[in-house]
Amino acid sequence: MNLKIVVINKLNHLKNFYRRHPKKILWLGVPLLLLIGLGAWAYTRRTQPEFETEVVKLGEVADVVSDTGLVTAENDLTLSFETGGVVRTVKVTEGDAVYRGQTLVSLDASLKAAEVASARATLAAQEAKLAELVAGPTKLDLASAKTKLENARKTLLTADLQAYFAGPSADYAASSFTYTAPTVLGTYNSDQEGEYVLELYQSGAPSGYSVEYSGLETGIMEGAEGRAEPLGRRGLYLQFPENFIRAPEVIWRVPIPNTKSASYATNRRAYEQAQADYDLKVAGTRAEQIVAAEAQARQARATLQSAQASLSKLSLTAPVAGLVKSVPVTVGETVTVGSPAVALVSDHNYYVTLYVPEAEMANLTVGDLAEIRLKAFPDRVFRATVGSVAPAAEDRDGVASFKVKLYFQESDPQIRVGMSADVDLEALKKTDVMVVPGRAVVRSNGRIFVRVWSNKTVEERSVEIGLRGSDGSVEIVSGLSVGEEVITFIRDEELDRLAD
């Protein structure tokens, strides 16, 4: 008979007895109830199994990694100068939002700016020269070069012409007459080089003396005082001073060009350069000239670029958009190479850094979702995604761990670098699968099985398990059916009794 029915019947008998004998129940009732209760407990201990069960059902299993980390900026930069100098401008302050390429701090650039201007002018000149060579000489260029050559030749042959005393008669060496040479005037209009030899002699000329000249030309001219007389037919004139020597055998020499002149060397070089330029114009541009000019232009361009690069190093610009953390320099301060000038953090792409132990890495991959709770805002949940997983482990307090970056899915102005974060990272999740508590799964002698409770008997049934959830649940791939009852806890003695 069912124990419950027995107990109910006994209680009904006691109730009726109490109605008929109310006084006797006082001394009989209490011991009798105790006796009945003890009997029921003993029967229950003997007949009811000591174990717990759960029903196999469809549900979800999730492998969740829980950890803590810190909010970090994608770019956390300390900017410094590559060269030393004096700070001229500071254009930002702490907390300012800056855009990429914005100038933050600048050093004195006057010297470098001058170098850039000089290099730019040199490049312009070289490029103009190259363009001229590529285009080749024009008729005007040829005419101009020829005129320059002719002028340089005239200057060479005519400049500073003088008559040099070549020897008076010994009889008149101590006379009171001056030995001052006649002055050479005019422009020599011949290309022939050489000299005029002038010999004075007494004649019937109004002055009483004449000059016989030889060398470049031959002829006779009057030796007149204070008046220029033609020396041949090539544009030159002679003018004798007053009281000049009037004696035979007085000789002067007029060299053309005047190699004794202080300007001769300069004029000779100018003429030779004009001749070379003219020859080039006539010959036209040679390929090697263009190659050389191109090389010179490239060198000038490289010099300009180097100067511009040096100038650019005197200004610090923001490499990314972000927020200014600090500016530890002031105007007028002298800074050295590498000393911090501006600290900058990016204003987006914040992430939380975790170090996940090796044992929890099995199911974690890039793209996994996570929920983040910042200690500053414990009631808010921020969504994040695994952006990267380090390829190699690091030692963290003796545990091999992998660095994982979780990027916030949405930016939020309340998120700040350095905030502490509690993270639940969903490494893997399966839904609509058979689920049992992990306590129901037994491993023994290489077998994986569960104990199925059916028809008051226990059956050990092998199963194939899948994902293990962080909450202790286990996915059953095969071996069970939804609705079956599995044992999650049972005493050894009870298991032995049921097995018998």
pLDDT in tens, 371-384: 999 999 989 999 99
Tell me how far apart the alpha carbons of residues 198 and 379 are, in angstroms, rounded to a whole number: 120
Query: 54-69+348-499 with 76-108+314-346: one CATH topology?
Result: no
- Give per-residue pLDDT as tens, 221-264: 998 888 899 999 999 999 988 776 666 678 899 999 999 999 99
Is the pLDDT confidence value at 458 over 90? Answer: no
For residue 487, the model assigns a pLDDT of: 86
Candidates 445, 454, 449, 484; CA nearest to 465 is 449
For residue 179, the model assigns a pLDDT of: 63
In the chain, where are the structural domains located? 3-48, 54-69+348-499, 76-108+314-346, 161-260
Candidates 353, 419, 361, 342; CA nearest to 384 is 353
Provide the pLDDT confidence category of residue 349 given band limits of 50, 70 and 90: confident
Is the pLDDT confidence value at 286 over 80? Answer: no
- Could you count the other beta carbons within 10 Å of the beta carbon of residue 355? 18
Torsion sign over Cα 414, 415, 416, 421: positive
For residue 352, the model assigns a pLDDT of: 92
For residue 230, the model assigns a pLDDT of: 95
Candidates 234, 241, 192; CA nearest to 213 is 234
Torsion sign over Cα 200, 206, 207, 208: positive
For residue 2, the model assigns a pLDDT of: 42
Q: Pick the more confident residue, 88 or 346.
A: 88
For residue 16, the model assigns a pLDDT of: 53
Is the pLDDT confidence value at 5 over 70? Answer: no
Q: Pick the more confident residue, 23 or 188.
A: 188
Provide the pLDDT confidence category of residue 19 given band limits of 50, 70 and 90: low
Going by the DSSP 8-state scheme, the letter that residue 492 receives in this structure is: H
What is the secondary structure of 408-449 as a DSSP string?
ESS--TT--TT-EEEEEEEEEEEEEEEEEEGGG-EEETTEEE
Tell me how far apart the alpha carbons of residues 430 and 166 are, in angstroms, rounded to a whole number: 123
Provide the pLDDT confidence category of residue 1 given band limits of 50, 70 and 90: very low
pTM (2 decimals)?
0.47
Provide the pLDDT confidence category of residue 283 given band limits of 50, 70 and 90: confident
85, 491 Cβ separation under 8 angstroms: no
Q: Pick the more confident residue, 64 or 5.
A: 64
For residue 136, the model assigns a pLDDT of: 77
Compute the average pLDDT of residues 24-43.
51
Q: Which residues, in sequence order, are CB contacts of 253 under 8 Å at separation 6+?
A: 163, 164, 166, 195, 196, 197, 198
Is the pLDDT confidence value at 8 over 50? Answer: no
* Percentage with pLDDT > 70 across the chain: 86
Is the pLDDT confidence value at 27 over 50? Answer: no
Tell me how far apart the alpha carbons of residues 275 and 298 are, in angstroms, rounded to a whole number: 29
Tokens 């300069």, located at residue: 266
Q: Looking at the domain covering 54-69+348-499, what would its CATH class be?
A: mainly beta
For residue 105, the model assigns a pLDDT of: 96
What is the secondary structure of 289-305 as a DSSP string?
HHHHHHHHHHHHHHHHH
Residue 344, CA distances (Å) to 46, 264, 308, 324, 352 in order: 76, 69, 25, 5, 18
Tokens 């992990």, located at residue: 438
Triad 273, 279, 284: Cα angle to 5°: 125
Is the pLDDT confidence value at 36 over 70? Answer: no
Residue 378, CA distances (Å) to 68, 116, 185, 405 in order: 13, 57, 108, 21
Provide the pLDDT confidence category of residue 3 given band limits of 50, 70 and 90: very low
Residue 248, CA distances (Å) to 81, 210, 211, 278 in order: 87, 10, 10, 47
For residue 392, the model assigns a pLDDT of: 93
In this predicted structure, which of 252-261, 277-286, 293-302, 325-334 has the lowest mean pLDDT? 277-286
370, 351 Cβ separation under 8 angstroms: no
Candidates 349, 370, 354; CA nearest to 417 is 349
In this predicted structure, which of 127-141, 148-162, 181-195 has the lowest mean pLDDT? 127-141
Question: What is the third-level CATH fold of 76-108+314-346?
Answer: OB fold (Dihydrolipoamide Acetyltransferase, E2P) (2.40.50)
For residue 326, the model assigns a pLDDT of: 93
Q: Pick the more confident residue, 100 or 166.
A: 100
Provide the β-strand partners of residue 340: 80
Is the pLDDT confidence value at 170 over 70? Answer: no
For 196-208, give one letter per residue: b (16+ CB within 10 A) or e. Answer: bbbbbeeeeeebe
Provide the pLDDT confidence category of residue 38 given band limits of 50, 70 and 90: low
216, 232 Cβ separation under 8 angstroms: yes
Compute the average pLDDT of residues 459-479.
86
- Give per-residue pLDDT as tens, 112-146: 999 999 999 999 999 998 988 888 778 888 899 99
For residue 246, the model assigns a pLDDT of: 64
- Could you count the other beta carbons within 10 Å of the beta carbon of residue 231? 26
